[in-house]
């Protein structure tokens, strides 16, 4: 289920005694809205159009409908059309120019390296894409693991965020109490699921929420979001 690396000398404490940071990728650690997401949406629409012999307009409408209903277009395509999920993910997340679209930021690398405990990326993107982004950001060698959408498949079902079943299985695999786990996300829906599982929650609002209409969710005691920050650059200030 999970691609974990060996424990390092920098933190040899038992899993349950350490904080585990689960870090979302797109629009949390980097801005994917301008150049990356439009291309993914276009490629998904093209894939749906080819597979189902639909017009571009009809394919785009179906793509959005499945995304709203299932939380991911992939899940709708699996449920209704029995497509090969690995083929779908490969054909819709091809970025040979990732090194141009995503640039390393020393300040982000320093901020992530400063987080104590384990640092694991948890994303609904495929592994090959996530690895390419993390390498371009300069973060790959500073992480303890990557949980991509392929790793959420269980008993023949794909269960990406915000699946509570997946999050509970992940906690068991990590051998860490939920209270020692922090999910860092730009999605309130995903944070709500983590909160229901007993995790701490941090909303990163500076990227995606500046382009959304309506009131932002608020952090505070008794809410689904414990802490709200503008950028992942300030995560080290979050009390654990």
Q: What is the DSSP string of 33-62?
A: TTTHHHHHHHHHHHHHHHHHT--HHHHHHH
Residues in the chain: 240
The two domains 3-30+102-237 and 36-92 share their CATH topology (first three levels equal): no
Domain spans in the chain, listed from the N-terminal domain onward: 3-30+102-237, 36-92
Give residue-wise pLDDT tens across range 111-161: 999 999 999 999 999 999 999 999 999 999 999 999 999 999 998 899 999
Query: Hunting for tokens 């899940």 — which residue is that?
Result: 75
Please check the confidence at residue 32 and state whether its pLDDT lies above 60: yes
Please check the confidence at residue 171 and state whether its pLDDT lies above 80: yes
Strands (E), the chain: 3-4, 20-23, 118-122, 145-147, 153-154, 157-158, 181-185, 200-204, 227-229
Residues paired with residue 227 on neighbouring β-strands, in sequence order: 202
Please check the confidence at residue 208 and state whether its pLDDT lies above 50: yes
CATH class entry, domain 3-30+102-237: alpha beta
Q: What percent of the chain has pLDDT over 90?
A: 81
Domain 36-92 sits in CATH at: 1.10.150.450
Inter-residue contact 75 to 89 (CB < 8 Å): no
- Give the residue, 206 or 123, on which the prediction is more confident: 123
Q: Are strands 3-4 and 145-147 parallel, antiparallel or unpaired?
A: antiparallel
């Amino acid at each position: 289920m999970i691609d974990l690396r060996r424990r390092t000398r920098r933190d040899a404490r038992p899993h349950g005694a350490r904080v585990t940071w689960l870090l979302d990728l797109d629009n949390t650690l980097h801005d994917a809205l301008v150049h990356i997401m439009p291309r993914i949406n276009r490629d998904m629409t093209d894939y749906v159009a080819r597979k189902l012999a639909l017009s571009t307009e009809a394919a785009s409408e179906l793509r959005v409908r499945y995304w709203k209903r299932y939380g991911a277009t992939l899940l709708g395509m699996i449920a209704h059309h029995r497509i090969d999920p690995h083929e779908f993910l490969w054909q819709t997340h091809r970025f040979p120019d990732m090194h141009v679209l995503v640039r390393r930021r020393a300040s982000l690398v320093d901020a992530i390296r400063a987080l104590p405990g384990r640092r694991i990326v948890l994303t609904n993107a495929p592994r090959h894409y996530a690895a390419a982004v993390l390498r371009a950001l300069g973060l790959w060698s500073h992480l303890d693991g990557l949980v991509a959408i392929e790793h959420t498949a269980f008993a023949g079902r794909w269960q990406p965020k915000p699946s509570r079943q997946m999050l509970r299985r992940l906690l068991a695999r990590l051998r860490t109490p939920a209270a020692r786990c922090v999910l860092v996300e730009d999605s309130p829906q995903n944070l709500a699921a983590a909160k229901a599982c007993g995790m701490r929650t941090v909303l990163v609002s500076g990227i995606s929420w500046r382009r959304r209409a309506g009131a932002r969710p608020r952090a505070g005691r008794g809410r689904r979001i414990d802490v709200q920050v503008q950028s992942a650059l300030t995560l080290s200030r979050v009390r654990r």
